[in-house]
Homo-oligomer: A and B are copies of this chain.
């Protein structure tokens, strides 16, 4: 079979800062999926895209080509509108756990296809798998049935959705080409558009613990994704949210499940509650249910009921005790003062090194491992008081976790300015 294009010529075009044509993009994505364009060609192209960029029409076409590489889901048979949320990944970001049942309790179905964690950010599936019995793999039919019955499902994306993206993401991960806005935007949006959600709220993280370290980059990513979703008929908005410090008081799998249950029970850290409600309001509004107040569903226990239904529908025992790490180590405040900084990346790396995260896709994670924070920026801490408790099953990991935390927090005497979790809104 004769191919209409030649991979080196397409790579050279992007290398030399030219636009790729629709036909070139369609071919290169399809040929990569078929194995005609080989990994070393796609990684060179990814690096050229990272360094030389793509314009909006190129990104839209690239996204469409990735969607066309696989199946598309269809939720139009549901009796309820659908809304999904995607976070670009942060430390302590357990928001999906309380959010999905909360939005479901307000009458909007949440079809959340999630992933496992890699590196310093946790994965939603890893967190839920800390619940005894819970399983991430559902067939499309099971997913649709659970959406109709319970209104919320959090499960693993099947291999049929945007296989080009799956293959490309694995390649980018080992070739230093993750941090390309066109490729991040098209990766996220190809899966979300193929998933068939009617509305989508993007939580774009900004700060040390996020992929996007500064607000301008994050805004560019958010605007790109909102445009892609809107053009594809998905009602899309984005919140830019703070990831300079971890969300809530826990980073880890079972630890974050426990904190999420506290939020659903009406308690929990204020930042987690605030962000959960802000995202719920956006999802409801984007799905045409802006009249419903999610704070009521949180307060009156409906969100907790939906959580229990969602967990048990996937085999999980919502009442079972969560796994606990075998060993703990307490980090105390070396002096008294106000905690002026607690770095998200430092805490994320520590949790990862304690066993909460993985370095390779096939690695197992520890359900009980992670970091509990006893103070957040702005809190006063006495000298010698506990600041962090590290949890792991394998105490030889403490040393490298402590190294990660070196320089990860500051104690001062001036009160630290509290930052709102939500920094900006796009869409």
Binding site for B on A (CB under 8 A): 7-12, 15, 38-48, 50-52, 171, 173-177, 179
Contacts and interface: CB of A to CB of B under 8 A. Distances in A.
Contacts of A51: 15, 47-48, 51-52
21 contacts: A7-B174, A9-B176, A10-B176, A11-B47, A11-B176, A12-B176, A12-B179, A15-B47, A38-B39, A38-B174, A40-B43, A41-B43, A41-B175, A41-B176, A43-B47, A44-B44, A44-B175, A44-B176, A44-B177, A47-B47, A51-B51
Contact of A8 (B15, B48, B174): B174
Contacts of A9: 176
Contacts of A40: 39-40, 42-43, 171, 174-175
Contacts of A7: 174, 176
A169 to B, nearest CB: 13
A40 B42 CA distance: 8
Nearest to A39: B40
Contacts of A174: 7-8, 38, 40-41
A369 to B, nearest CB: 22
Given A15-B50, A50-B15, A52-B51, A44 B41 contact: no
Nearest to A49: B47
Contacts of A39: 38-40
A2 B387 CA distance: 34
A7 B43 CA distance: 13
Contact of A48 (B11, B12, B176): B176
A171 B11 CA distance: 13
Q: A51, A52, A176: which has the most chain B beta carbons within 10 Å?
A: A176
Q: A10, A41, A44: which has the most chain B beta carbons within 10 Å?
A: A44
Q: A15, A45, A50, A173: which has the most chain B beta carbons within 10 Å?
A: A15
A10 B38 CA distance: 22
Contacts of A8: 173-176
Nearest to A359: B6
A177 to B, nearest CB: 6
Contacts of A42: 40
Contacts of A10: 176
Contacts of A179: 12
A43 to B, nearest CB: 4
Contacts of A15: 47, 50-51, 176-177
Nearest to A175: B44
Contacts of A38: 39, 174
Contacts of A12: 176, 179
A382 to B, nearest CB: 39
A46 B48 contact: no
Contacts of A46: 44
Nearest to A46: B44
Contacts of A173: 8
A47 B176 CA distance: 11
A395 to B, nearest CB: 22
A8 B171 CA distance: 11
A44 B39 CA distance: 10
A71 to B, nearest CB: 27
A46 B171 CA distance: 16
A25 to B, nearest CB: 16
Nearest to A176: B11
Q: Which 7 A-B pairs have the closest CB atoms?
A: A11-B176, A47-B47, A39-B40, A44-B175, A40-B43, A12-B176, A43-B44
A175 B46 CA distance: 11
A142 to B, nearest CB: 36
Contacts of A171: 40
Contacts of A176: 7-12, 15, 41, 44-45, 48
Contacts of A45: 176
A63 B25 CA distance: 36
Contacts of A44: 43-44, 46-47, 175-177
A359 to B, nearest CB: 10
